[in-house]
Amino acid sequence: ITTKEVEDKLEKKRLENVPIVRNFPKVFPEELPGLPPIRPVEFQIDLVPGAASVARAPYQLAPSEMKELAEQLKELSNKGFIRHSSSPWGAPVLFVKKKDGSFRMCIDYR
């Protein structure tokens, strides 16, 4: 991607088109200069040489929890918060019941 392409994308991405800004206008100042520039992110995880991943069975979920998981993952994907991954690494998921009866998805990253 070239600098020109990045600049063109920034021009197209107007602040008023960001859903969170549109849904909560009172939270944001009226004269907001715009979104921060897109910057490259350098990230790496240094692995221990010769170390292998530990294979553990994931937590078992009840059918109702599996349905809830599928719904929450679909919603997060539709909103663009998550995307499909083909990584061999993963993390178990469990649910905590909230006061209103709905479930909060919790991810066990231990």
Q: In angstroms, what CA-CA distances link 74 with 34, 52, 63, 67, 70?
A: 29, 31, 17, 11, 6
More confident residue, 90 or 11: 90
Superfamily holding 52-110:
HIV Type 1 Reverse Transcriptase, subunit A, domain 1 (3.10.10.10)
Each residue of 42-75: pLDDT tens digit? 888 888 888 877 777 666 778 888 888 889 889 8
Q: Whole-prediction pTM value?
A: 0.45
Burial class (CB in 10 A: 0-12, 13-18, 19+), 61: middle
Give the residue extent of every domain in the chain. 1-43, 52-110
- Chain-centroid distance, C-alpha 61: 22
Least confident of 28-32, 40-44, 95-99: 28-32
